[in-house]
């Protein structure tokens, strides 16, 4: 027997970090929200497979603002909402090659102008935080408020707070059809249910392009696999904060008494694939040992390794705001490896877009979908973490 349609002001598709934060901010603004998710619970997409690291150390004003405001939300989460989302200011150390040092100094000046705590370190001081071989480095920077947050606790907390404000959650319901109505509203088929919303928020992560296509819209987001490798527990003599060798792109940090490490594979094929890339681990180890020679002595634990997918756009920046082709369709997707660290602020921007009709609290022009219509929106070819 057919069930009655579920009616809402906003249908949010996706229960990852971005969808859950959006659902909370929309429900807090007094809107009726339905969040629909294909998996059986929150954070089962990219969010739950992330490296969980957050940093205010960016080189452009918008990313600095989105990350730094979000870090402050994470820092104050327990105080503001009474829920611990696992924020640990374990720090972020960037080891910067000589040829990139001048640019890094300019980035730090910008970060300071936005209030981000970042310190310039000489190599001897940095070496006492994480030991490394110094060849070719110009200096290091340290973000003491950067660190980690728990992705599962974060998504669950936002959803709990959204539900406390009347939001409905629908798990194990994959959206398979979307109809745009003449009045701008959306009729959404998800499993056995029909949902109706005046607005739809596309927070479908790496599936955002496919979701948009159901409504005849074009959103350039695809999956791209990323691997996290792990040493055995117990072998690490001391904790290692998130440390990135900027030149090689290798990153390491400890989780408990394991070391986790990785590096993006430049020739990674697009597509949803969460199997671990074992041959690539050999390359990452080789690059990693060149900078962190002690890594060679740590026994690996294949059972502790995992892979997930980044939700990437052609320029590796997110897409936030109303779709120019359908103003009641709001994209919040494509964060290309930094969605967790910006989720608190992105959810707020989504609510701003829907409640006020535009994003005014920050200049989000660089996140508009229509930037890809211009000539310089070619695929990003630089190093990505
Ligand atoms: C290995 C790895 C390391 C990372 N490290 C970091 C890091 O250190 N810091 C950081 O900030 N970010 C990191 N990221 C990226 C981060 O995980 C993502 O940017 C972020 O989780 C994106 O959140 P999201 O909510 O947009 O997507 P997701 O978490 O993927 O959520 C999207 C949800 O939409 C649902 N969905 C999709 N299509 C449909 C449909 N048709 N119907 C219903 N539901 C649907 C999916 O099931 C999914 O649950 C990492 C990612 C990986 C894989």
Residue 66 is assigned to a structural domain of this protein: no
CATH number of the CATH domain containing 340: 3.50.50.60
Q: In terms of domains, do 193 and 229 share one?
A: no
Ligand 1 site residues (CB inside 6 A) read 13-19, 36-39, 44-47, 49-53, 174-175, 203-207, 211, 226, 228, 308-311, 333, 335, 337-341
Helices (H), the chain: 17-28, 61-75, 77-81, 101-113, 123-129, 151-164, 208-214, 278-291, 339-356
Evaluated on CA atoms 259, 260, 263, 269, the torsion sign reads positive
What is the Å distance from ligand 1's center to 43 Cα? 7
Among 256, 290, 308, identify where a domain stops. 308
What is the Å distance from ligand 1's center to 16 Cα? 6
Q: Which residues contact 208 (CB under 8 A, 6 or more apart)?
A: 202, 219, 221, 311, 319, 331, 333, 334
Residue 345, number of CB atoms within 10 A of its CB: 23
Q: Are 315 and 221 in contact (CB under 8 A)?
A: no
Q: In terms of domains, do 121 and 245 share one?
A: yes
Q: In terms of domains, do 158 and 294 share one?
A: no
Ligand 1 pocket test, candidate residues 53, 88, 207, 308, most atoms within 8 A of CB:
207
Q: In terms of domains, do 349 and 213 share one?
A: yes
- Which atom of ligand 1 is closest in space to residue 173's alpha carbon? 43
Residue 24 is assigned to a structural domain of this protein: yes
- What is the structure's pLDDT at 259? 97
Which of the residues in the chain have pLDDT under 70?
Answer: 1-2, 375-385
Please tell me the residue having the least CA distance from ligand 1 atom 9.
53
pTM: 0.97
What is the Å distance from ligand 1's center to 26 Cα? 20
Q: Are strands 6-13 and 193-202 parallel, antiparallel or unpaired?
A: parallel
Domain count, the chain: 2
- Which atom of ligand 1 is closest in space to residue 342's alpha carbon? 11
Q: In terms of domains, do 216 and 172 share one?
A: yes
Residue 383 is assigned to a structural domain of this protein: no
- What is the structure's pLDDT at 374? 74
Q: In terms of domains, do 210 and 166 share one?
A: yes
- Which atom of ligand 1 is closest in space to residue 333's alpha carbon? 26
Residue 22 is assigned to a structural domain of this protein: yes
Q: In terms of domains, do 206 and 167 share one?
A: yes
Query: Residue 209 gets which letter from DSSP?
Result: H
Please tell me the residue having the least CA distance from ligand 1 atom 27.
205
Residue 77 is assigned to a structural domain of this protein: no
d(C-alpha 308, C-alpha 165), whole Å: 32
Q: Are 48 and 74 in contact (CB under 8 A)?
A: no
Residue 191 is assigned to a structural domain of this protein: yes
Among 287, 308, 329, identify where a domain stops. 308
Q: In terms of domains, do 129 and 179 share one?
A: no
Residue 237 is assigned to a structural domain of this protein: yes
What is the Å distance from ligand 1's center to 45 Cα? 5
What is the Å distance from ligand 1's center to 166 Cα? 24
- Which atom of ligand 1 is closest in space to residue 176's alpha carbon? 41
Q: In terms of domains, do 142 and 232 share one?
A: yes
Q: In terms of domains, do 211 and 237 share one?
A: no
Residue among 332, 327, 326 nearest 216 (CA): 326
First to last CA, the chain: 50
What is the Å distance from ligand 1's center to 85 Cα? 17
Ligand 1 pocket test, candidate residues 15, 205, 270, 306, most atoms within 8 A of CB:
205
Residue 326 is assigned to a structural domain of this protein: yes
Please tell me the residue having the least CA distance from ligand 1 atom 15.
337
Report the phi/psi class of residue 20: left, alpha or beta, with left for phi > 0 and alpha for psi in -120 to 50. alpha
Residue among 176, 161, 179 nearest 347 (CA): 161
Ligand 1 pocket test, candidate residues 337, 338, 349, most atoms within 8 A of CB:
337
- Which atom of ligand 1 is closest in space to residue 19's alpha carbon? 25
Ligand 1 pocket test, candidate residues 12, 50, 67, 260, most atoms within 8 A of CB:
50
Q: Which domain holds residue 215?
A: 6-49+151-221+315-373
- What is the structure's pLDDT at 377? 52
Q: Are 109 and 72 in contact (CB under 8 A)?
A: no
Q: In terms of domains, do 188 and 231 share one?
A: no
Please tell me the residue having the least CA distance from ligand 1 atom 2.
50
What is the Å distance from ligand 1's center to 1 Cα? 35
Please tell me the residue having the least CA distance from ligand 1 atom 22.
339
Please tell me the residue having the least CA distance from ligand 1 atom 52.
50
Evaluated on CA atoms 125, 129, 131, 133, the torsion sign reads negative
- Which atom of ligand 1 is closest in space to residue 242's alpha carbon? 8
Among 254, 279, 308, identify where a domain stops. 308
Q: In terms of domains, do 229 and 217 share one?
A: no
CATH number of the CATH domain containing 244: 3.30.9.10
């Amino acid at each position: 027997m057919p069930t009655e349609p579920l009616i809402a002001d906003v249908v949010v598709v996706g229960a990852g970090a971005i969808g859950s934060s959006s659902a909370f901010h929309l429900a807090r603004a007094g809107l009726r929200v339905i969040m629909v998710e294909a998996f059986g619970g929150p954070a089962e997409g990219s969010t739950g497979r992330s490296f969980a690291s957050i940093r205010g150390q960016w080189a452009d004003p918008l990313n600095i603002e989105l990350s730094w405001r979000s870090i402050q939300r994470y820092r104050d989460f327990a105080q503001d909402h009474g829920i611990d989302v696992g924020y640990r200011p374990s720090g972020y150390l960037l080891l910067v090659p000589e040829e990139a040092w001048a640019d890094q100094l300019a980035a730090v000046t910008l970060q300071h102008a936005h209030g981000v705590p970042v310190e310039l370190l000489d190599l001897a001081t940095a070496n006492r935080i994480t030991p490394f071989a110094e060849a070719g480095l110009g200096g290091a920077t340290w973000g003491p408020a950067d660190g980690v947050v728990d992705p599962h606790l974060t998504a669950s907390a936002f959803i709990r707070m959204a539900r406390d404000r009347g939001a409905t959650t629908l798990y194990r319901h994959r959206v398979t059809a979307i109809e745009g109505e003449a009045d701008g509203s959306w009729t959404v088929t998800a499993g056995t249910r029909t949902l109706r919303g005046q607005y739809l928020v596309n927070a479908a992560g790496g599936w955002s392009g496919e979701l948009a296509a159901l409504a005849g819209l074009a959103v350039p987001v695809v999956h791209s696999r990323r691997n996290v490798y792990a040493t055995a527990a117990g072998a690490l003599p001391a904790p290692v904060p998130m440390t990135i060798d900027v030149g090689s792109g290798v990153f390491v940090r400890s989780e408990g008494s394991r070391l986790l490490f990785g590096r993006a594979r430049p020739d990674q094929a697009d597509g949803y694939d969460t199997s671990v890339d074992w041959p690539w681990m050999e390359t990452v180890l080789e690059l990693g040992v060149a900078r962190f020679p002690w890594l060679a002595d740590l026994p690996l634990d294949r059972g502790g390794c995992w892979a997930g997918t980044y939700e990437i756009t052609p320029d590796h920046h997110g897409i936030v705001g109303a779709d120019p082709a359908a103003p009641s369709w709001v994209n919040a997707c494509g964060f290309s490896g930094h969605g967790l660290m910006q989720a608190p602020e992105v959810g707020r921007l989504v609510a701003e877009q829907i409640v006020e009709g535009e994003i005014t609290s920050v200049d989000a022009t660089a996140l508009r979908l229509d930037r890809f219509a211009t000539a310089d929106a070619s695929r990003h070819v630089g190093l990505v973490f």
